[in-house]
Amino acid sequence: MRGKLSCPVLKAGRRERSLLPSYQNCLHYVKDVTMGEDQSTIHKDNGPKIMAALRNTAISLLRCAGFSTIAARLRYHSVHPESALEVLSLALF
């Protein structure tokens, strides 16, 4: 479903142009720029779907934990892995 918009958005005509930047800035931008989804070298079998699911899960966990700057929080967790485990434990309970 890469590069396709839903039917209601396409039918919206001019409104589609105003919705597109907000759509891209929300989830698409984070996955594309912060997590480098387009530069991924995983192309076989179910690998791309699995990696997309893992990226979506990571973003959702961080947003549910109350973090709005995903890139900064990913950098922080790369240096402090124990805090990443705290985010996971918050999601479980």
Mean pLDDT of the chain: 77
Domain count, the chain: 1
- Does residue 1 belong to any structural domain of this protein? no
Residue found by looking up tokens 């929080």 in the block = 73
pLDDT in tens, 9-53: 545 554 545 555 554 557 777 888 888 887 888 888 988 889 989
The pTM assigned to this predicted structure is 0.64
* DSSP structure string for the chain: -TT---HHHHHTTHHHHHHHHHHIIIIIHIIIIIS-GGG----STTHHHHHHHHHHHHHHHHHHTT---HHHHHHHHHH-HHHHHHHHHHHH-
Q: Which residue range is the domain that position 71 belongs to?
A: 7-92
- Does residue 79 belong to any structural domain of this protein? yes
Residues 12, 29: Cα–Cα separation, whole Å: 22
- Does residue 2 belong to any structural domain of this protein? no
